[in-house]
Amino acid sequence: MKQYSSSPGVSSAADPVTPDWVKHAVFYQIFPDRFAKSDRVEKPSNLEPWDSDPTAHGYKGGDLLGVVERLDYLQDLGITAIYFNPIFQSASNHRYHTHDYYQVDPLLGGNDAFDEMLAACHARGVRVVLDGVFNHASRGFFPFNDILENGAASPWVDWFTFSAHPANAYDHGEPPGYEAWIGLHALPKLNTDHAMVREYLMRVGEYWVRRGIDGWRLDVPEEITTPGFWEEFRTRVKAIDPECYIVGEIWHEARPWLRGDQFDAVMNYPFTEAAIAFACRHRVVKETVVGRGYAPWPGIDGRTYAEKIDAVLALYPWPIQLAQLNLLDSHDTSRFLSIAAGDVDSLKLAALLMFTFPGAPCVYYGDEVGLTGALPEDRWVRKSFPWDHHDQWDTGLHGFFKAVIGLRKDHEALRTGTYRGIHAAEDTYAALRGLGDAHLLTAINTGDVPREIDIARDGIVPAADGSTREVFVVNGPVRANSDGDRLRLMMPPRSGVVLDLSRGT
């Protein structure tokens, strides 16, 4: 199997430049209405009870000061970066229907709460990445609202693309009469070919970077096909902060956007797909994953996982691999535990794969305490965090996430070291990360019976002295036997291990 790292013989100037901080980050994705709320943010009365079942249109009242008040929890967990779902003024609980790109939603505390949150995060060394929804706006966005009032006479009519007037914004039984994201009346598509629209969005991107954010996660960016749009976006925000992280929501192979002139990375759903399918195997619940932009059903064996991972790692230059946003689930997917039919071991094994893989790992809020929720209804994967119900927490899972995050933080080789798959079989897979004299081996058995992994020692680390030290284990004990020529691991069912193979360990 091939080793993946910086290309030998190629100068650093020839490789794309990605933000260095991302390579060392551990992200936590927050859906703002559902994570935490503060008594310091005044709220209207018609909110759903925090612990009630979520609905499609109701609000729970989570806000940004609630995030501030939970930073101790996040820092204790080991989180160093937060990716927020949209925070701008909107008329939807998910806020992908933007009304005002310059105002934080008043239910979240407004711009003052944002400033306090950003300062509090930065004081703790926690980075903040916002969700940029630039392909489409909403019926409440001021130019579109003017068109609803004035029809073809509106001065803003060219900001969108109409086929009929008056626009049909609310009768969902008939076409909207304008371009909208996947035909949804509530999401009119912006005409980014229009110079004023393009400039407006560029200035939005610049404004929040100047205000101090550390990056943009770009919603459905492949829908914007205006030539040069994302190249200009990158140039302008990077001129303000060269370390600004630009990560696109593209679910498939993304080479056209990852040549160093547009995005730093994408949400790495091809990795997600492979990790779910291998960790869960036959446990993948088909109904929880169909109809989305990835295909983790049916489960796969270790050889197929190796093939998929090699394909993923061959796609992009190494600096981009190290900046990829790796995830196991998100607000757009079923939660992992529901995908895995409640099997906690599947989540632990997949998380071990993610935290030892090149790229920045991202934990979807609540996964670490065992939140569940399945599609096809998005509301179930966006439940409120059960702060006041510790009896609902899987404390063992929480401890696992804290430990696996600590594993990555303790070993730079797991963040920036070379990556090489060194073993693959029906139930097992093993990979090596290396950085200087440090060599860390991750081995996984996703099968339901014990398996032996037998590897030629000189094919792993020629300079090592034969010793091994266990630094992390899932469902152990894993017995390691090294006779100098071969390394043999006796892996219990559904187990994983990270071994330090460095000389003198």
Query: How far is it, in rounded angstroms, from Cα 153 to Cα 70?
Result: 49
Type of residue at 350: A
For 137-151, how does the pLDDT look when each residue is reduced to its tens digit (9 = 90+)? 999 999 999 999 999
Q: Both 390 and 320 in a single domain?
A: yes
Query: How far is it, in rounded angstroms, from Cα 177 to Cα 191?
Result: 14
- Residue 73 confidence (pLDDT) above 50: yes
- Identify the DSSP state of 181: G
What pLDDT, on the 0 to 100 scale, is given for residue 348? Answer: 98
Query: How far is it, in rounded angstroms, from Cα 217 to Cα 85?
Result: 9
Is residue 423 one of the residues assigned to a domain? yes
For 7-63, how does the pLDDT look when each residue is reduced to its tens digit (9 = 90+)? 433 334 578 999 999 999 999 999 999 999 999 999 999 999 999 999 999 999 999
Give me the helix-helix angle, 344-355 and 269-280, nearest 10°: 140
Q: Both 321 and 243 in a single domain?
A: yes
Can you give the three-state secondary structure of 190-229, one letter per residue?
A: CCCCCHHHHHHHHHHHHHHHHCCCCEEEECCHHHCCCCCH
Residue 399 sits in a domain whose CATH number is 3.20.20.80
Task: Provide the phi-psi class of 152: left if phi over 0, else alpha when psi is between -120 and 50, else beta.
Answer: alpha
Query: How far is it, in rounded angstroms, from Cα 276 to Cα 286?
Result: 12
Q: Both 410 and 424 in a single domain?
A: no
Question: Which residues are paired to 421 by β-bridges?
Answer: 431
Q: What is the mean pLDDT of residues 469-490?
A: 90
What pLDDT, on the 0 to 100 scale, is given for residue 329? Answer: 98
Q: Both 207 and 319 in a single domain?
A: yes
Query: Which has the closest alpha carbon to 28: 372, 411, 368, 393?
Result: 368
CB 39 within 8 A of CB 373: no
Q: Count of domains in the chain?
A: 3
CB 59 within 8 A of CB 93: yes
What pLDDT, on the 0 to 100 scale, is given for residue 9? Answer: 34
Q: What percent of the chain has pLDDT over 70?
A: 96
CB 120 within 8 A of CB 109: no
Q: Both 218 and 247 in a single domain?
A: yes
Is residue 9 one of the residues assigned to a domain? no
Q: Both 241 and 341 in a single domain?
A: yes
Is residue 505 one of the residues assigned to a domain? no
Q: What rounded mean pLDDT belongs to the chain?
A: 94
Residue 469 sits in a domain whose CATH number is 2.60.40.1180
Q: Which residues contact 277 (CB under 8 A, 6 or more apart)?
A: 284, 296, 297, 298, 299, 300, 304, 305
Q: Both 118 and 152 in a single domain?
A: no
3-class SS of residue 283: helix
Is residue 6 one of the residues assigned to a domain? no
What pLDDT, on the 0 to 100 scale, is given for residue 429? Answer: 98
Q: Both 248 and 236 in a single domain?
A: yes
Give me the helix-helix angle, 344-355 and 395-410, nearest 10°: 10
CB 445 within 8 A of CB 494: yes
Residues with a catalytic annotation lie at: 219, 249
For 225-283, how does the pLDDT look when each residue is reduced to its tens digit (9 = 90+)? 999 999 999 999 999 999 999 999 999 999 999 999 999 999 999 999 999 999 999 99
Q: What is the mean pLDDT of residues 134-163?
A: 97
Q: Both 227 and 355 in a single domain?
A: yes
Is residue 431 one of the residues assigned to a domain? yes
Residue 186 sits in a domain whose CATH number is 3.90.400.10
Query: Which has the closest alpha carbon to 476: 434, 433, 443, 431?
Result: 443
- Identify the DSSP state of 153: G
The residue among 414, 429, 460 that closes a domain is 414
Q: What percent of the chain has pLDDT over 90?
A: 90
Q: Both 401 and 442 in a single domain?
A: no
For 423-436, how does the pLDDT look when each residue is reduced to its tens digit (9 = 90+)? 999 999 999 999 99
Q: At 191, is the pLDDT very low, low, confident or very high (cuts 50, 70, 90)?
A: very high
Q: At 83, is the pLDDT very low, low, confident or very high (cuts 50, 70, 90)?
A: very high
Enter the tokens of residue 62: 């989570």
**Which domain, by its residues, includes 460?**
418-500
The per-residue DSSP string of 8-75 comes to TT--GGGSPP--GGGGG--EEEE-HHHH---TTS---S-PPPTTSPP-SS------HHHHHTTHHHHH
The residue among 414, 430, 446 that closes a domain is 414
The residue among 414, 432, 466 that closes a domain is 414
Q: Both 164 and 197 in a single domain?
A: no
Is residue 338 one of the residues assigned to a domain? yes
Q: Is the peptide bond before 176 cis (omega within 30 degrees of 0)?
A: no
Query: How far is it, in rounded angstroms, from Cα 355 to Cα 398?
Result: 15
CB 334 within 8 A of CB 274: no
Q: At 1, is the pLDDT very low, low, confident or very high (cuts 50, 70, 90)?
A: low
Is residue 229 one of the residues assigned to a domain? yes
Q: Both 54 and 153 in a single domain?
A: no
The per-residue DSSP string of 315-338 comes to TS-HHHHTT-EEES--TTS--HHH
What pLDDT, on the 0 to 100 scale, is given for residue 483? Answer: 76
Type of residue at 370: G
CB 373 within 8 A of CB 448: no
Residue 170 main-chain phi, psi, to 5 deg: -130, -15
Residue 474 main-chain phi, psi, to 5 deg: -120, 125
Q: In terms of C-beta density within 10 A (0-12 exposed, 13-18 middle, 19 or more buried), how is residue 56 classed?
A: exposed
Is residue 8 one of the residues assigned to a domain? no
For 409-427, how does the pLDDT look when each residue is reduced to its tens digit (9 = 90+)? 999 999 999 999 999 999 9
